[in-house]
Amino acid sequence: MLKKFCSAVVFLLGSTPVLADYSTHPGAQSFVRTLVQEHQFEESYVLDMLRQAEKKQSILDAIARPAEKTKPWKDYRKIFLGEPRIQQGIEFWNNNKATLARAAEEFGVDEQMIVAILGIETRYGKYTGGYRVLDALATLGLDYTPRGKFFLKELENAFLLAREQNVALPELTGSYAGAMGYGQFIPSSYRAYAVDFDGDGKADIWNNPVDAIGSIANYFRRHGWQRGDIVVTRAHIASDYDKSVLNEKIRPHFTLSELAQRGYTPVNAKLKGADKAVPLSYDGEYGKEIWLGFNNFYVITRYNRSQLYAMAAYQLSEELRYAFEKQVR
């Protein structure tokens, strides 16, 4: 239910009031002007939405401690890989088998990867976030200096999304960072990649797993995923291997032949010297792990920029694939 902004200050023992009228925020003027001049919104409407937006300290606290930045791989991996998440994934896969098969065929994206993304993001739609997108993006866009410009742009996209989909902006819900639905699409991603995969006239990623599956598959296809291609492989290293090229956050550009000269050799001997990869290093449960990430690995990082996330998604996808195939043997 829509909660209108209340100007009365509520005092709680030991807490600091965080309610704010974002319509008067110093950064709001240019934002309002953009929506009015570039997108033909009524100024009164934009100001009303900003008045209703509530500053959330819990959002600012959460974004300051993401697991990708605070946990080593050996601990980060445990968050997402475990028997409960795998079993829930197999249940979701079985319940949506035909849709996943159709998505794999139409978009060229492996079924296990779609399921893995859903598993990591929201445990297959069970936990999609209870924040209002309006609150999350106003808080981060106007009161989170490190990435305020990014989140303010997402708030702009949220206004556009609500108008295009004919929904009330304050009713959109998601994570503390404004990510929405089964696959946690930020507003710009929804506008660019969400699809109506069941043909009912609406791309409903909040309540409809069919649309969520199609939308994730479309996202991966549009970023260059190749169905059936390798994602990562373990690597041997020479004693004098080149550490300077580890964990580059760019599209793989070294061929395997070039990486061999830098001290990296794939464990998978069938790979060709012309294939391109990026060397990766993680602090694992039993020491340092060296991997080579290929184009499909890079594509996962287009969904989430963290390479730890990409590795967790890949490893979960493999566990899901193995468990799904095992049940029909």
**For helices 209-222 and 97-107, angle between their N-to-C axes, nearest 10 degrees:** 20
Look-up: residue for tokens 């550490």?
243
Q: Half-sphere exposure (CA, 13 Å, Cβ side) for 119?
A: 33
Please report the DSSP string for 192-223 in residue order. Answer: HH---SSSSS---TTT-HHHHHHHHHHHHHHT
From residue 95, alpha-carbon distances to 92, 101, 324 in Å are 5, 12, 12
From residue 28, alpha-carbon distances to 32, 134, 156, 159, 201 in Å are 6, 14, 11, 14, 34
Rg (CA), the chain: 22
> Can you say whether the dihedral through the CA atoms of 144, 216, 115, 126 is positive or negative?
positive
Q: Are strands 232-237 and 131-132 parallel, antiparallel or unpaired?
A: unpaired
Which member of 121, 154, 156, 319 is catalytic?
121
Sheet with 276-284: list strands edge to edge. Answer: 254-255, 276-284, 287-293, 232-237, 264-266
Q: Are strands 173-174 and 131-132 parallel, antiparallel or unpaired?
A: antiparallel
Residue 231 per-residue DSSP state: -
CB 65 within 8 A of CB 150: no
Residue 121 annotated to the active site = yes
Residues annotated as catalytic (active site), given as ranges: 121
